[in-house]
Structure 1
Amino acid sequence: MNGGGAPAILVLGGSGFVGRALCERLVRQYRGGARLTVATRRIGHAQALQPLPGLTLRQADVHEDAQLAALLNGQDIVVNLIAILQGDEAAFERVHVALPRRLAGLCEGQTRLIHVSALGVAADAPSRYLRSKARGEAALREARPATSTLLRPSVIFGRDDRFLNLFAALQRGLPLLPLAGADARFQPVWVEDVAEALARCCADASRCAGQTFELAGPREWSLAELVRLAGRASGHPRPILPLPAALGWLQALALECLPGEPLMSRDNLASMRVPNVATGALPGLAALGITAQDVEAIAPGYLRGGATRLDRWRARH
Structure 2
Amino acid sequence: MKIERICILGGSGFVGTRLVSQLAARGLEVRVLSRRREMAKELILLPTVEVVEANVHDQPELIQHFRGMDAVINLVGILHESKIGRIDLPSARRGDFQKVHVELPRKVIHACGQSGVQRLLHMSALGADPNSRSAYQRSKGIAEALVREAAMRHSQHENWYLNGPKFIRGYDLNVTLFRPSVIFGRGDSFLSMFSRLLRMSPVLPLASAGSRFAPVHVEDVARAFADSLDNPATYGQTYELCGPNTYTLQELVAYVGEVIGKPRGIIPLGKWASYFQAWAMEFKPGRKLMTRDNYYALCTDNVCRGGWPPVFDFQPASLEAIAPEYLRADTPRARYEDYRENARR
Q: TM-score, normalised by structure 2?
A: 0.84
302, 306, 310: which one pairs with 2:326?
302
Q: TM-score, normalised by structure 1?
A: 0.91
State the SS of the aligned residue for 1:286: coil
CA-atom RMSD in angstroms: 2.0
CA contact (8 A) 2:125 2:180 kept: yes
- Between 248-257 and 180-189, the greater mean CA deviation after superposition: 248-257
In the aligned structure 1, how far is the partner of 2:151 from the partner of 2:105? 10
* Deviation at residue 36 of structure 1 after TM alignment: 0.6
1:249 paired to 2:275: yes
Residue of structure 2 equivalent to 1:189: 216
1:158 paired to 2:189: no
Residue of structure 1 equivalent to 2:244: 218
1:141 paired to 2:132: no
Residue of structure 2 equivalent to 1:114: 121
- Between 164-173 and 119-128, the greater mean CA deviation after superposition: 119-128
Structure 1: tracts of 5 or more residues without a match: none
Runs of 4+ in 1 over 2 A off after TM superposition: 108-111, 283-287
In the aligned structure 2, how far is the partner of 1:82 from the partner of 1:311? 27
* CA-to-aligned-CA distance 1:149-178 (integer Å, 9 cap, x gap): 000000000011010000011000101011
In the aligned structure 1, how far is the partner of 2:98 from the partner of 2:314? 33
What does residue range 24-43 of structure 1 map to in structure 2 within 5 Å? Answer: 24-30=21-27, 34-43=28-37
* CA-to-aligned-CA distance 1:51-108 (integer Å, 9 cap, x gap): 2121111111111111111121111111100001111522111111111111111104
290, 293, 297: which one pairs with 1:271?
297
Aligned identity (percent) is 43
CA contact (8 A) 2:67 2:116 kept: no
CA contact (8 A) 2:214 2:242 kept: yes
CA contact (8 A) 1:127 1:271 kept: yes
Structure 2: tracts of 5 or more residues without a match: 82-92, 153-172
Structure whose CA Rg is larger: 2
State the SS of the aligned residue for 1:27: helix
In the aligned structure 2, how far is the partner of 1:29 from the partner of 1:234? 36
In the aligned structure 2, how far is the partner of 1:8 from the partner of 1:265? 39
CA contact (8 A) 2:69 2:117 kept: no
Aligned length: 304
In the aligned structure 1, how far is the partner of 2:8 from the partner of 2:130? 27
- Between 174-183 and 100-109, the greater mean CA deviation after superposition: 100-109
1:9 paired to 2:12: no
State the SS of the aligned residue for 1:89: coil
In the aligned structure 2, how far is the partner of 1:119 from the partner of 1:262? 21
